[in-house]
Structure formats: structure tokens, C-alpha cells
A and B are shown apart, each in its own frame.
Chain A
Amino acid sequence: MRAPTPIPEQDAGHALPLLDIRDLTVEFATRRGTVRAVRHVNFSLAKGETLAIVGESGSGKSVTSYAAMRILDRAGRIAEGAVSFSGLDLRAAPEATMRDLRGREISMIFQNPRAALNPIRKIGKQIEDALLQHAQVDRAAAAGKAVAMLEQVRIARPRERYHAYPFELSGGMCQRVVIALALACRPQLLIADEPTTGLDVTTQKAVMDLLVELTRERGMSTILITHDLGLAAAYCDRVVVMEKGEVVESAGSETIFRHPEHPYTRKLMHATPRPGVTLRALLPEGSGEPRPAPASAPDVDRQPLLTVENLVKDYPRQGARGALSKLWRSEPVPESDSFRAVDGISFSIGRGESVGLVGESGCGKSTTSSLLMRLIDQTSGSIVFDGENIGDIPARRFAKMPLRRRIQMVFQDATDSLNPRYTAARAIADPILRLGNLSGRDAVRARCEELAGQVGLPLDLLDRFPHQLSGGQKARVGIARAIALKPDLVILDEPTAALDVSVQAVVLNLLQDLKDSLGMSYLFVSHDLNVVRLLCDRVIVMQAGKIVEQGPSKRIMVSPATDYTRELLAAIPHPPL
């Protein structure tokens, strides 16, 4: 075991910041020459302070912290500037020193907790490994310390969970284990890179509360890297806003919200969905043509477009015990061998109405949308679409039916939903070629160009492949494909979850415009009530396969009827306004 590297003693008072980054410039060598990902970044972090670095994708917020920890990719290097940690020059420090510092003095939490844990090692053992690595305890005491750490991150029954493997834990629990791992050696600085992206709002709140509390308890400093201004302001003392590799603004979180100075900060704040703001107000001021005021809520037809009654979907339970393991274990076999993902839900969607379907991951909302799309068959219940029970038609046969063109979907991950070998035009044309009644190359091409115009995709991008398009452009291609056949109902499966806030604002507005001009109905599936209410007249809240509440979105936002909805609302991070 290595002897711990001595850290220069801090002089009394707060003269010396814990982390000081001066004039940092990071370069990446790429095929198109050197790219400066971070340019002349300056900031410092005092002991016990919580700092947020906020920016959209590509702003260099992660690269800055990776550079500070010296864990850049092979192609990246620090070109200029100085990084000092408690007075120690990290840029000049030998690799052995850095290895010792990482984990013991500076810890990091990554975005995907599952990827950060070794899948085939017990979580308790993984915490022990970190402790032993940095010679914090001896072997005999390690197990006890690991259990104590699990307890500190509020994992129930830590002694049992010590023996759990990562796949046996939920995403939120895995993130807690990662936090336990990061804090095991009592580091002075914790860098959390989007620690809650991909977690539900309620889990996000639990994880962030825990993180802030532990930080305070231990007098640690924390850097939170996030794209979410609301989260940053709710949990951090100070906010640094980055744009295109440069720090554009740095101030206390209250100040930055009350008096944002830089136009970019203002734009970012403007685009963040928050209570009491309309969809149109998310767009930057004075942008584009004046839009027609959204038509007053279209009179909901007497006969709804889609009616769902007592819809049930059972899945065979994973890992139902086989005969051999029944012999092995004496515990009773679970009474049912199936898992009910959707448990007797009923609702309806009117013509021209947009309905939000909200719930946490695993609540059955994705299964519901797959059922409505006729991608899978339900166990029981009926789905009546425009007077016809489409639930009776097997999913396999539905693909080629004329009804198919009337129900379409926009997928969550625009990148994943586009065939990497199809150009944008080919992707948009796919439904037209299969189900449309257009014939001839020119007619199809003309329709593609018309659709591209409707979704605001420049025509010259039509011949590009997905990897040559930005996230927002890919989202537009996905939307164009979904509306190509003029469907009556479009299911939006978290269409903006993977997008930056400013792009999200634009895409949400686009969806609203399309709905107004084409008269479609939307079912907006999401976990974020704040986003859903912007677009939807009515909201359905789901929990554990059941509908717990449904009603007008205004009413649900203001006076939720059930505890679960209240909990969901309370978990949304609110900036101190």
C-alpha cells in the first residue's frame, strides 16, 4: 500500500480555496484539427462550498471537471492554465499522486450509477475495495465500515444489502451506493456529474437531499455538474454558467435567478419549464414570427377518439423459480407467476385533445403506450379507437392495417429511433412508402419537403444521415415521420427527455403548433409534470399500473387530490424565486 500523499496544510482562515482553476484551456485532437473544448475558465471553490456548473450539452462543463481530475480522454490535454487543489499543483503532479488523490481527496459520481458499479461484485465488497485501496481501514474493520456507509446513505437493511449485487437494486439505490462509494474515504471534494439525470423526480429529490446533507455534515465541498438550472439553484450556494467552453456568468444562486446578467443565462432560465409560465413564454423574447394565439381549447367532442377500458397487461415474472431452486430454498414460491404492469386502467382521449400520462419509471406508462400503439397485445380490456375495438386486432396483424396510419408515435430517444443507414428524407418517407397512397419518387419527395417545412427542418438537411444531425434536428425528423400520414392520435413518449432545455422549449412549441394546425390528439407520456402541463389540457397520473388521479392539468398542478401527486409535485426542484 502506498503512503498517502501529504496534502499541504491549509493555513488558518479561508485564504486558500480548496480547488482553484485559473485560465484553464483544454484541447482535443480530432480529425478536423484541434478543438478547444474549454477556453480560459476561471473559478475557485472554497472549503464547504457547493458549486454548480450549469450548461447545455457541449458547453464543456464535464470536460472542465475531468481536466481537474486529470481523467481526460486520450485525445484531450490541458493546453494552458493551472489547477490547484489545496495549494497542490494538479497539473504538474505525477500520475501516482493523482491516483492517490482520486477517491481519497477528490471523488466523483457519474451519470449512470449502474455503469459505475461492478456488476458481478457485491456492493459491500465494492465499498470495502475503495476503503482498502486508500488504506483507510484494515481488512478486519472494512466490512463494518462498509455497512456503516450504506447506513449513512439511507439504504434500508444495510447488513442484508451488503450482499446485494447491483442488478438487484433500483436505479436510485444504485446511485446511493455510488455516493457511499464516493464518500467512503471522506474526500474533501466531491464532483457529481449529472448525478440524477435518468432518475425519477422523487428519487432525484431523495438523492440530492442526501448529497447536500452529507456534504454539510462532513464539511466537504461539492461541484454539481448539471444542465438543470432549477436543480442547481435549489441545491447549490453558487452557480457557474458555461456556454461553448467559456464561463459566461458566475454568481450566488439567488442572485443569478433574480438578476441574471448574461444573455445566455437569461435565455437558459427563460427556457426552463417552471410553474406559472406558458408554453409560448419559454421561447426567447422576440424570436421569430408572432404566433397565432392557441385556439381556445377545442371543444372536446361528445364522442371521444380513444376510449380505454379496464386495460390489463400481465408479464410472466422474471426468474420465476424453477423446480431445482424450489428444492433448494424453503421460502414459499410467490403466489403469482406474472407481473401486472398495467392494472385495469380506463380513460379516454377526445378529438384534438392532448392528455398527459405521468408517472415514475416502472409505473406502466410505457407499457400503456405500447398497448395503445398496438405493438404488444393486452391481457384483457378494450381499446376503442374511433368506434372500432382495436384491442381485438393482434399486434402482428395491425402493422399493415389502414388503421395503423391513424395512430403514430414520437419516440423518446431521437437518435435511437432513426435507422443510422437512412437519410432524413428516407426516414420520413418510410411510412409514406408503406402506408401512404402517394406513388412516384417526386410525389414522395415533395411530401417529405412539405413535412420538413412543417417541422422546421431545413431542406438541405434532408439528405443527411442521423449522425450528421444535431439532437434537435433528429427530434424534428422523428416528428415529421410521425405526422407524415396525418394521424389522428400521436403518442409522444418523452420526446424531449434527451434534449437541452432551449431545444426542448422549441420542440414543445413546435408540437403545439402542429397540433393547432393539423388537429391531432396527443398522448404525452412523461415523468415530468412541469413539462406535461405546458402541452396538455388534461393529466393522468399513474402509479404501480393504476391510475391514481386524472383531471385538468391546471387543477392537478394547483390542488392535487392524492398524496402521490402531491409528492410528485413537491419533488420538482424549484429555484429560489
Chain B
Amino acid sequence: MSDSVLSAPAAQNGSPAVALLRHARYVVSENPVTGLAFALFLLIALCALIGPYLVPHDPLASDTAAALKPPSLAHWFGTDQLGRDIFSRVVVATRLDFAIALSSVALVFAMGGLSGVAAGYFGGWTDRIVGRISDTIMAFPLFVLAMGIVAALGNTVTNIVIATAIINYPLYVRVARAEANVLRDCGFVQAARLSGNGEFRIVLTHILPNVMPIMMVQISLTMGYAILNAAGLSFIGLGVRPPTPEWGIMVAEGAGNIISGEWWIALFPGATLMLAVFCFNLLGDGLRDLVDPRRRT
């Protein structure tokens, strides 16, 4: 038989994990900012995992003698009104903020992803119902909606997670719906039908895996937003309550002191929050490059 037909396109590269690693290295080398974002992400993840064991001071221990001290070698980020070490509090708060963002994103990914794919694939009434639900959510100012949900359901961390998931729902639905709508007409879906796959099996085994890559990007982009949202709700006194260390509360506590010159109380948690959101947004760009098959030349 003809050689040209049978010859392999290129030498193969080991296991999928190795190939992914190689691809990641390529993406990072192409765009150093992505590498920075990945490094920042690792740092944040590290703080969330083992932060409480590393910090120099107890984040809850107050020491009125050392209250309102500016940054120094003993207290890197200074101390607050009760003399608590701000650096320790900022590091310990990572876990809570990260957990809220992660669980809300996981929740909305499951809800929005599945209903969006169903809407895009089946169309008709499924599409109309899912579409109107997300339109209704988008008709509210989202932060006010989140406030309302937390106020109505009760002032707990679980409800912050639920509220954050709900306000992100339309974003996921739209992405998943648009992607599924395109894939629905692809040849391989027809082929799957010819192979005797039922409609639900096609959605779960053929459409959903192909929608995943673009959803991964969406996850990273909304992670930043989810962190900001959780901190925002805490800032106005919903959800997490003092003295639990949390970035939003810490900014709120420090806000009144800026005018009297103690800028560090609000600045450091605020800057950390900004950095975390920044990191996730950059990560989104990097992830998009990572999953885009056109970049895999």
C-alpha cells in the first residue's frame, strides 16, 4: 500500500501527561506572563494549604500594647487596632477565600455546564427555560442579587458560596450553550447517532468532553470574580464574621484608619486580594493558550 498514506505525521511523544507538561512548558516560554501567573497561583495554593502552619503569629491573638504598629521586621505588614499581626492574618485568610471561590466555581461549573450543554444540544423548550432563567439572573445588579440571596438564606459561608454560584450561572450557561450548539451539527455527533448512542449519552460522552476546554478557561476567569465577590460580601458585613481572618473584613476594618494615617491595615489585605484576582485573570489567558488546539502545532 502507499507509504504516504500510512506514514505517521510526526514522532509520537510518550504518555499524555508528558505531552501536556511539554505543552505547558511551551506555553510558558511563549508568554512569560503566564509563567508568572502560574507561579503566583502556586504561591496562593501553598498559602491556602499550609499557610496556618507557617505564619509567625497567631492570627487571632490580640496584643493591645502593640496595636496599630506600622510595618516592621517583627510585624511585616504591621498590626491592627487589636494588635493582631496583619501578615499572619492575610496568609491565614487565603484558605477561607480560596475555599469559598473554589467551591462556588465548582458548583456553578456543574450546574451551568450541564444545563448550558443541554440547552445548546436539545434546543427548543430546554433552551427557552435555561435561557430565561439566566436572563432573569442577569436582569439584576449581580452584587445586589448576591447580597439579597445571602440576606434571605441566612448569613453563613455556605450561602455565600451559593450566592456566588448563582450570579455566575449565566456566564457558564452561555459559554456551554454556544459551544454545544456548534458541536451539535458536527459530523462526529451524527456518527455517534449512527453508532446507536442515545441522545443523553451523546450529550454526556461526546458533547460535554469537547466543551470542557473552553469551560476550564471560564473557571479561571470566574475564580477571580468569585474571590472578589466573597470579599465584597464580607466587606459589607455579610457572610464571614469577625474575628475570622478574611480579606474583605480586614479591608473593612482598616478602612476607617486610613484617614488617621494607619494605611497598612487596609492596604495589605487589599493588595493581596487584587493580586489574587489578577493572578486568576492572567491564568485564564494562559489556560486558553494551553487548551487551544490551534496552538498545538
Give residues in A with beta carbon < 8 Å to B: 30-32, 283-284, 287-288, 373, 375, 396, 399-400, 404-405, 408-409, 411-413, 416-422, 430-431, 434-435, 456, 458, 461, 464, 467-470, 472-473, 478, 481-482, 502-503, 506
Of B90-98, B172-180, B193-201, B257-265, the one touching chain A: B193-201
A434–B197 touching, CB < 8 Å:
yes
* A411-B187, A413-B187 as given contacts; A373 in contact with B194, CB under 8 Å: yes
- Taking CB atoms, residues of chain A closer than 8 Å to B8 are 461
- Give the B interface residue count (CB, 8 A): 31
Q: How far is the CA of A409 from the CA of B192 in the complex (A)?
A: 11
* A30-B297, A461-B8, A473-B6 as given contacts; A288 in contact with B1, CB under 8 Å: yes
B26–A31 touching, CB < 8 Å:
yes
A468–B12 touching, CB < 8 Å:
yes
A420–B293 touching, CB < 8 Å:
yes
Q: How far is the CA of A434 from the CA of B197 in the complex (A)?
A: 6
A481–B191 touching, CB < 8 Å:
yes
Q: How far is the CA of A421 from the CA of B212 in the complex (A)?
A: 11
Q: How far is the CA of A127 from the CA of B201 in the complex (A)?
A: 50
How many Cβ-Cβ contacts under 8 Å join chain A to chain B? Answer: 100
A287–B2 touching, CB < 8 Å:
yes
- Taking CB atoms, residues of chain A closer than 8 Å to B210 are 419-421
- Taking CB atoms, residues of chain A closer than 8 Å to B1 are 287-288, 456, 506
* A502-B2, A502-B4, A506-B1 as given contacts; A430 in contact with B192, CB under 8 Å: yes
- Taking CB atoms, residues of chain B closer than 8 Å to A412 are 187
Q: How far is the CA of A502 from the CA of B7 in the complex (A)?
A: 14
Among A396, A400, A411, A503, contact of B2 (Cβ-Cβ < 8 Å): A503
Q: How far is the CA of A30 from the CA of B187 in the complex (A)?
A: 30
Q: How far is the CA of A417 from the CA of B148 in the complex (A)?
A: 47
- Taking CB atoms, residues of chain A closer than 8 Å to B201 are 434
Q: Does any Cβ of A come within 8 Å of B65's Cβ? A: no
Q: Does any Cβ of A come within 8 Å of B69's Cβ? A: no
Q: Does any Cβ of A come within 8 Å of B141's Cβ? A: no
- Taking CB atoms, residues of chain B closer than 8 Å to A470 are 5, 7, 9
- Min Cβ gap A267→B in Å is 9
- Min Cβ gap A409→B in Å is 6
Q: How far is the CA of A468 from the CA of B19 in the complex (A)?
A: 13
A416–B187 touching, CB < 8 Å:
yes
* A31-B26, A503-B4 as given contacts; A418 in contact with B188, CB under 8 Å: yes
Give me 15 A-to-B residue pairs in the complex whose CB atoms sit less than 8 angstroms apart, sorted by A's number.
Answer: A284-B2, A396-B199, A399-B197, A399-B199, A413-B187, A417-B191, A418-B191, A421-B209, A430-B191, A430-B197, A434-B197, A470-B7, A470-B9, A502-B2, A502-B4
B196–A404 touching, CB < 8 Å:
yes
Considering the complex, which residues of chain B in the window 8-58 have a beta carbon less than 8 Å from any beta carbon of chain A? 8-10, 12, 26
Q: Does any Cβ of A come within 8 Å of B151's Cβ? A: no
Q: How far is the CA of A506 from the CA of B194 in the complex (A)?
A: 25
- Taking CB atoms, residues of chain A closer than 8 Å to B206 are 419
- Min Cβ gap B135→A in Å is 23
- Taking CB atoms, residues of chain B closer than 8 Å to A31 are 26, 297
Q: Does any Cβ of A come within 8 Å of B128's Cβ? A: no
* A31-B26, A456-B1 as given contacts; A430 in contact with B187, CB under 8 Å: no
Q: How far is the CA of A287 from the CA of B4 in the complex (A)?
A: 13
- Taking CB atoms, residues of chain A closer than 8 Å to B197 are 399, 430, 434
- Taking CB atoms, residues of chain B closer than 8 Å to A472 are 4-6
Q: Does any Cβ of A come within 8 Å of B190's Cβ? A: yes
- Taking CB atoms, residues of chain A closer than 8 Å to B190 are 375, 409, 411, 417
Q: How far is the CA of A247 from the CA of B162 in the complex (A)?
A: 65
Most buried by A among B186, B198, B296: B186
Q: Which residue of B lies closest to A469 (CB)?
A: B9
- Taking CB atoms, residues of chain A closer than 8 Å to B209 are 419, 421
- Taking CB atoms, residues of chain B closer than 8 Å to A396 are 199
